[in-house]
Structure 1
């Protein structure tokens, strides 16, 4: 039973969503007892989550949204999901990028948010297969040229070639060949889904292969993923949890999910406060 009788609405809904994903469904009467709130409060929470497309209401409860494992939303759609969580994650993850290091950023809306934070880290070399991420750094370069060179020196950016996906990532043989000869200090990796059983997964087969190359070229792998990605499984797995050094996520991740992740990963960072909260060893200090 949940101890706190005064959970905020967002915390209640995160708990409900995690229960739906973990158990495959929930009933209203179970949630009222567990959360110690009224039937009406639970139904309002389910209505809100259903409008967001996070679950499907059924008689007496809710079940997961029946989404094909091959479904891949476009960049604009993804950008509208969990925007504040992604900004929190981006701020926390940016602290893991050391000045002067060589880093890689995969495609995704969370890595896009991270790219904006990384503009403050000096002397980076950035390899990315994301058109949107590259645009962030190229925009900063144009701004630096416009201020007469008095601002911070912008990062050196390498954009792989490849075939563009709905999420504006470049994938396929051209991207894979470009990555094959490179080595990164840190890879910041966005994901479609992450679970204990399937590891990291994506609906796009070509993107799965490109992500495998990125993971293989990195000394450290930092996954940036909001709490809704936990329990989601795409068509193709491309990495196991054992290949991840750190997961940076947000405070919406439930306590049971955090416990599972701590059993699998050396580092878990739950973002949300001004400095974030580290729930595991810092890989730099291990």
Structure 2
């Protein structure tokens, strides 16, 4: 394994676990502890991690569970991964369906691909998503935008949004999340958004969660749903095997979208199958 590959794996472990020990990484990567220490020095010099006695932690420490970046800040992150995930998700949508889209940059990316699918009705609590769909040429989807209070990530949340969603019945809901954790489930840093997303999930016959590999191990203040509530989780091929296994163990279908060739094709990793 090349040094760059090894360091990328180390960074992945730090981001997934929050903190790692030198001895743990040496066993995982089958190299000496001295090699790991040199790798940690390199990553720390780049600002990718923080070195601590005997190991490393996430740079700047773990983010607060209520940390909520704005839409523009999130939009610029993992763009290739979001495109791959959106392509895989769009292939699941049939013409004439009633579709729910939560707020978020991954669902916003998906919205661009839904514009070409005929006879859709899309329910969303995202002004950004609604704007993308309204601007679709030709036969634009019918769009139902919930009311509510605007969050820093441009979601509409609160009692108005929840009450409107409780009256609806959708074929499939695509849910973007702040984080995924085996114990905490699918989470958000905004308490009101959790209530709204829960209502959106309840309105759907089928739940598809969209999350790139950097969301794994992150925990927001409020749980939207446990992992096993999802029918499908769509992620990118940067997800480590521990994350894949945690989904499969819960009987949830895992769709792994290849980032290199963003398009309609996708690799499927079904529950219980490697």
Q: TM-score range by the shorter chain?
A: 0.7 to 0.9
| Pairing 1:20-59 to 2, within 5 Å after superposition | 20-21=14-15, 23-28=17-22, 30-31=24-25, 34-35=28-29, 38-39=35-36, 40-41=38-39, 43-45=41-43, 47-48=45-46, 50-51=47-48, 55-58=49-52
The more displaced of 18-27 and 61-70 is 18-27
In structure 2, stretches of 5+ residues that fail to align are none
Selected match of 2:91 from 79, 95, 98: 95
Q: Which residues in structure 2 correspond to 1:150-165 (within 5 Å)? A: 151=138, 153-165=139-151
Aligned mates of 2:230, 2:3 — CA distance in 1? 32
* From 201, 204, 208, the counterpart of 1:215: 201
Which consecutive residues of structure 1, in runs of 5 or more, have no partner in the other structure? 145-150, 282-286
Equivalent positions of 1:242-257 (< 5 A) are 242-257=228-243
How much does 1:66 deviate? 2.2
- The separation in 2 between residues aligned to 1:108 and 1:7, in whole angstroms, is 35
| 1:96-111 to 2 correspondences below 5 Å | 96-111=92-107
Q: Deviations over 1:242-285 (max 9, x none)?
A: 2100000001100121111111143100001441210016xxxx
Which residue of structure 2 aligns with residue 70 of structure 1? 66
Residue pair 2:16, 2:218 contacting (<8 A) in 1 also: no
Of residues 119, 122, 132 in structure 2, which corresponds to 1:126? Answer: 122
Aligned partner of 1:234 in structure 2 is 220
Q: Relative to structure 1, is the Cα distance of residues 119 and 8 closer, same or farther in structure 2, using a 3 angstrom cutoff?
A: farther
Matched, 1:280 2:270: yes
TM-score (norm 2): 0.87
Partner of 1:114: 110
Per-residue deviation, 1:43: 4.0
What is the distance in 2 between the residues matched to 1:45 and 1:196?
27
Aligned to 1:123, the other structure's residue is in SS state coil
Q: Distance in 2 between matches of 1:252 and 1:77?
A: 21
For 1:93 and 1:46, how far apart are their aligned partners in 2?
Answer: 36
CA deviation after TM superposition for structure 1 residue 68, in Å:
1.0
Query: CA RMSD of the aligned region, Å?
Result: 2.2
How far 1:162 sits from its partner (Å)? 0.5
TM-score normalised by L of structure 1: 0.83
For residues 245 and 136 of structure 1, the distance between their equivalents in structure 2, rounded to whole angstroms, comes to 26
Would the aligned equivalents of 2:90 and 2:110 in 1 still touch at CA under 8 Å? yes
Matched, 1:86 2:72: no
| Shift in CA distance, 228/265, structure 1 to aligned 2, threshold 3 Å | farther
> Could you say which residue in structure 2 is the equivalent of 1:264?
250
Moved more, 247-256 or 55-64: 55-64
Deviations 1:157-204 (A, max 9, x none): 111110000000000011111111001100000001111101111111
User: How far does residue 17 in structure 1 lie from its aligned partner after superposition?
Assistant: 3.9
Q: Taking structure 1 as reference, are residues 43 and 250 closer, same or farther at Cα in structure 2, changes over 3 Å only?
A: farther
Displacement of 1:46: 5.1
